[in-house]
Amino acid sequence: MLRLFGCLVALCTLIPGGFVWTAKAETQEKRIALVIGNANYQPGALKTSANDAGLIAQTLQAAGFDVVGARDLDEDALRRALRDFLSKAASSGPDTIAFIYLSGYGLQLEGENYFLPIDAKIARAADVAAQALRVSDYVRPLATLKLKASIVVLDTARRNPLTISGEPLAGGLALVEPSPGTLVAFNAAPGTIAPDGGGPYGAYAQALAEMMREGGLSLPQVFERARLRVSDMTKGAELPWFSSRIDGGFVFFERTPDAPALAAAAGESAETSSKSIRELPVADAYQAAVERDTLQGYEEFLAAYSGDPLAKRVRAIVAARREAITWQRTYAAIGPTCAGIRTVRTVRMRGDGWRWAHSRWSRPLRSTSSTMTCRRRRPKRRSMSIAPCSHSTTSISASCRRRPCRLTSFRRRRSW
């Protein structure tokens, strides 16, 4: 077991051929970063996560960040590393840029994202909260510090190697809404998993490091171009996601006056940006939809090119995004839901389209201002009716036969 390092020597040695740090960028604000790459998991080692962490650490230090790097952390070391980083951020002042990069295995459970230490032993869903690190426990305190910017990158949406008894876990990461002053990024869109990489580095880490080194790009431009680059590198098999609520400008590297003009990203042009997706040729329309990365943009592509081979991939994107949004809104409205009302769909993305690797889900709860309804599949007949709940939070219907959620209980009314 390797413990937390105060420098990046061990991480640097992971990069073939070695490297020499470039001079620090001239910055007015203080820049700090925590980079963790967990690879040596008990169910099976990851090929690229430690190297990916080294690549990102190298790029961040070249951009003027004070980087603390670590690899293969157990639960105690992982929690200690993040606690120490929070303390460091709190003492750095309001003009601080904080960057956290986690590479390894990630899970989602009941609307929360978890990062696995290398010694995690998870046999059922109930073990996740006890054995894994809940990311929001550290992201939310970081947001309360009111720093200039907080950037959290989870390169953890991978194929789950765990053998889980009972109901399987949902695949990928859960959609989250970042706090003010925070940017959250995933290596794959919510509810999806990235394919296993064959090289020494993952596609997302390579693309992100490449765009970070492109001088003069704002934060949104860095992550937008990284998404397009990954989509191009993997032929659509991996589609990163990010959401930002950071105000003000920030660049990793300043662009010198004599530097050549910024080249447009693949598929990016003023003409493409100004036109409706349905007005573009199919290839440009797909690139524009990926660049905008909105549900409306993907639906517009489907409306215009429903018969194109790319439509299969876009339908999977739309299904995963809708499902992630529905679960996020449900969780925000009522908290952790009743047992069994959980989406456990895993999406596997491939270059020739997307495939459902697992699909088994119950329809989510729908809430109103004063009532709660619950839809459930009937074991014998498809016809069903939905009755609003008439019980208070302290009164539980005996006919429900399920655990109530935090805010209310509900009852069923059979139509047969």
Please, are residues 298 and 289 in contact by the beta-carbon 8 Å criterion?
yes
171, containing H or E segment: none
Q: What are the domain boundaries of the chain?
A: 9-244, 270-358, 365-416
At residue 352, the pLDDT reads 39
CA distances from 338 to 113, 195, 370 (A): 19, 32, 18
Among the listed residues 374, 369, 361, 368, the one whose alpha carbon sits nearest the alpha carbon of residue 402: 374
Specify the residue for token string 């995690």: 120
Three-state DSSP state, 353: strand
At residue 196, the pLDDT reads 84
At residue 156, the pLDDT reads 96
At residue 323, the pLDDT reads 81
Joined together, the tokens standing for residue 180 give 């003010």
CA gap 366, 395 in Å, rounded:
19
Joined together, the tokens standing for residue 212 give 């970070």
CA gap 134, 406 in Å, rounded:
20
CA gap 239, 226 in Å, rounded:
9
Joined together, the tokens standing for residue 186 give 């995933």
CA gap 46, 159 in Å, rounded:
11
Please, are residues 250 and 219 in contact by the beta-carbon 8 Å criterion?
yes
Tell me the angle at which helices 282-292 and 310-334 cross, rounded to the nearest 10 degrees.
20
Three-state DSSP state, 271: helix
Joined together, the tokens standing for residue 236 give 């659509």
Q: What is the pLDDT along the chain (416 residues), one digit of tens a residue?
A: 444 444 443 444 333 333 333 334 444 789 999 999 999 998 889 999 999 999 999 999 999 999 999 999 999 999 999 999 999 999 999 999 999 999 999 999 888 999 999 999 888 888 899 999 999 999 999 999 999 999 999 999 998 888 777 777 888 999 999 999 999 999 999 989 999 877 899 999 999 999 999 989 999 999 999 999 999 999 888 999 999 999 888 999 988 777 666 666 554 555 566 688 888 888 888 888 888 888 888 899 899 899 888 888 888 888 888 888 887 777 667 665 443 344 334 444 444 333 333 333 333 333 333 333 444 443 443 333 333 343 333 333 333 334 444 333 333 333 33
10 Å Cβ neighbour count for 25?
15
pTM for this structure? 0.73
Three-state DSSP state, 234: coil
**SS3 sequence of 178-212:** CCCCEEEEECCCCCEECCCCCCCCCHHHHHHHHHH
Joined together, the tokens standing for residue 30 give 């203080």
CA gap 15, 10 in Å, rounded:
10
Please, are residues 133 and 117 in contact by the beta-carbon 8 Å criterion?
yes
User: Does domain 9-244 sit in CATH 3.40.50.1460?
Assistant: yes
Please, are residues 96 and 87 in contact by the beta-carbon 8 Å criterion?
no
10 Å Cβ neighbour count for 247?
10
